[in-house]
Homo-oligomer: A and B are copies of this chain.
């Protein structure tokens, strides 16, 4: 059997079809699909990827059949269109486009208006009565052909064009006359001759061959090979070439062009949506030079075309079972569909459309679940900056909004308030009006201010910086690491270049994009528990296998988590409780004690407070598990900063303060010095604290078990799980578990009752993952702390990596910020290994993840694939995780999954 190299499409029938992406590329397959669906697509033909592969195998020569087959297809096209390529009087014009199996945006070369030459351009001008259009088309063709085929730098053409504009004193391209454009053409041709030593090719069939070969060659240009390497696309696939008849919407008053959606992409309402312009080209609609007209008005102008367009787009929506974003052109009264694709939409629209399409019988529930990007749900759960009809942000006052900086979208939502620079000011001024806390970076000391602020803005730190993590937990808007802003808390001002933001100035944050505005924006509250949303999430829960828990430290967060559908708490960070005003002094006393007895005394003060917190969590999670992590952060986080104390001491001495006061401060400094660490992330923290000071673990275990017993007595079903952090060797866990078990027995004996509890560990140190078979002998559950595991696996401090993560993503060293999207290759390898090894030793081991990745859709899908039992994330991300978990099931074994994991 002969290899088929050329596939025709047109006249209601295509040689290929939509599934032939391998041979026809994505674009070619789509054109065939639309043609077969009887859509009025400009006809043409696709030269197969096989020709491209052969071209490279044979060192730049095509198989002999390609030329005759191409000539045949071209003849069919000419017949169908009633025009001939290269005809001096009525030329057929075609576009030549690449199109590979996998979309490779940015490397695609396109040549439009092929077939024009000096004579046919002149004929076109005459025939159309529109010489400006004819010469503009010709000069565009020379420019694209010159660049793509003849490899003349774009800039050289632009230089000529700009020169002509200057001469004509034209600001816009459209202000150039046909004479101006003729001059451009003349100079372009001179340029071509100068660069290639040859005149610009006038013979149309020759143009076509040259364009085809150039497109084939572009498969191996540097951009394309790099893109393929980064995206793991095989090098031997090759690209197809699509040759298609050109259509024009600017041939007079019966021509036109437009874009539209089959449903409203902003609200999801089932209404025909879009806009158009008569006697215009596609770029006129989007450039804003002329104001486009709402698409419904087309009905009055060309009722038959409008009816046909509605009918076609409805059919398209039903064919693709999704909202269609389409482009059309009307050439002299005849409608052509140029493109259709699934339409982008807001989160709100996505959910509404998915639910509607199920009621309409268009989609099954399972299909509907795949129509919403999990990350989009975020928009339904947080307030948003309000936009006017044109998508321009609306100001609340008279003052205009000024976009001053962009940071990381650290915690979604919108926040509007007056600027404050310290946590104390936040509390004070926050009582009077909405405030935004602006800091270089936040520290645990700032918690009281962060609780009050409407939003947080920091100039340093990444997606998992303190500010980001804490605000996401609170469901509060945060823009982090906005490096352009220079915060000077002492002077109570922040500078962005020459602009100075003072305390009290209004600013507005968009936590979903990271944008920072000077001025007071209008916000809108979304409808978080709308009927559609609840219906949709219910379907997700029916499908998913992965459990979804929430990270919550206090009862209020736990209640929010339940509302968002969390099935338990995957991580309660007990240390967050110690920063409260009534607790911090005891915590500090404990840390400053230099013997066990004094430490125990302070811990005894903390015990009832912790117990009460835990009781609240257990009540909120009646029937669901609650994982409580023992103390994790380095102790100096609870004390004043070393450098601040050093300055204070120096100043006290300089000012000759009373000797006793100096000594007191020096003593505190000495203790802070003792606790000072060069790399606190790798220092005395996590279970190392509980091992060096076993009495801390003892107190916490006692508070947990006592709380569990107390609440259980009231008829609540408690499922406590005690989690030991930062374990690197099994014996660390053994020693800490021994303490928990001993304390539990004491509490049970005293209470005269028992509750079931588990002791497990976080896997957040590479060594724990490497030796997970050993660790699992003592651990009843594993929870991957992928924040820390990412830090140690990469050797990246999440607080410091901001400086190089951006260049790293720009240089394509990293695909994503690994603190935002789990690195499946490296960190994921450890997760997979530890899960397997752990279950080897203990088949019933419960395995979950409680790092920030637990709420990131791709990471959730990875967790499903490696067989975790649950993910845990901020309460506000729980719906996202639920949907991602459902999609993971639906995509299992599919091509989409193969692509994701490639």
Contact = CB atoms under 8 A, between A and B. Distances in A.
B647 A791 contact: no
A735 B680 CA distance: 31
30 contacts: A642-B643, A643-B643, A643-B646, A646-B647, A650-B650, A677-B797, A677-B799, A677-B800, A678-B680, A679-B680, A679-B797, A682-B800, A682-B801, A683-B800, A683-B803, A684-B800, A691-B811, A691-B813, A692-B803, A726-B795, A728-B826, A731-B811, A735-B813, A766-B766, A767-B823, A770-B793, A770-B825, A771-B825, A771-B826, A792-B792
Interface in A734-792: 735, 764-767, 770-771, 788, 791-792
A678 B728 contact: no
Label chain A's interface by main secondary structure. Answer: helix
Top 3 closest A-B pairs, CB basis?
Answer: A682-B797, A679-B797, A767-B826
A767 B654 contact: no
A773 to B, nearest CB: 11
Contacts of A794: 728, 765, 767
Nearest to A807: B692
- The number of chain A residues touching the other chain, given as a range, is 35 or more
A509 to B, nearest CB: 24
Nearest to A673: B440
Contacts of A825: 770-771
A280 to B, nearest CB: 45
A814 interface: yes
A807 B825 CA distance: 35
A680 B795 CA distance: 10
Given A793-B792, A814-B729, A684 B654 contact: no
A691 B812 CA distance: 12
A791 B688 CA distance: 15
Contacts of A792: 766, 792-793, 795
A185 interface: no
Contact of A800 (B678, B767, B771, B797): B678
Contact of A770 (B654, B679, B767, B826): B826
A638 interface: no
A54 interface: no
A830 interface: yes
Contacts of A683: 797, 800-801, 803
B797 A691 contact: no
Nearest to A796: B682
A222 interface: no
A493 to B, nearest CB: 15
Contacts of A764: 795
B731 A812 contact: yes
A845 B304 CA distance: 72
A651 B794 CA distance: 40
A704 to B, nearest CB: 23
Contacts of A791: 682
A697 B823 CA distance: 27
A827 interface: yes
Contacts of A812: 731
A138 B584 CA distance: 62
A788 B766 CA distance: 13
Contacts of A655: 654
A732 interface: yes
A418 B799 CA distance: 43
A829 B803 CA distance: 31
Most buried by B among A677, A732, A826, A829: A826
Contact of A678 (B692, B797, B804, B830): B797
Contacts of A827: 767
B801 A795 contact: no
Contacts of A796: 682, 728
A814 B729 CA distance: 8
A14 B814 CA distance: 71
A37 interface: no
A443 to B, nearest CB: 10
A681 interface: yes
Given A692-B804, A811-B735, A795 B682 contact: yes
Interface in A313-364: none
A813 B778 CA distance: 14
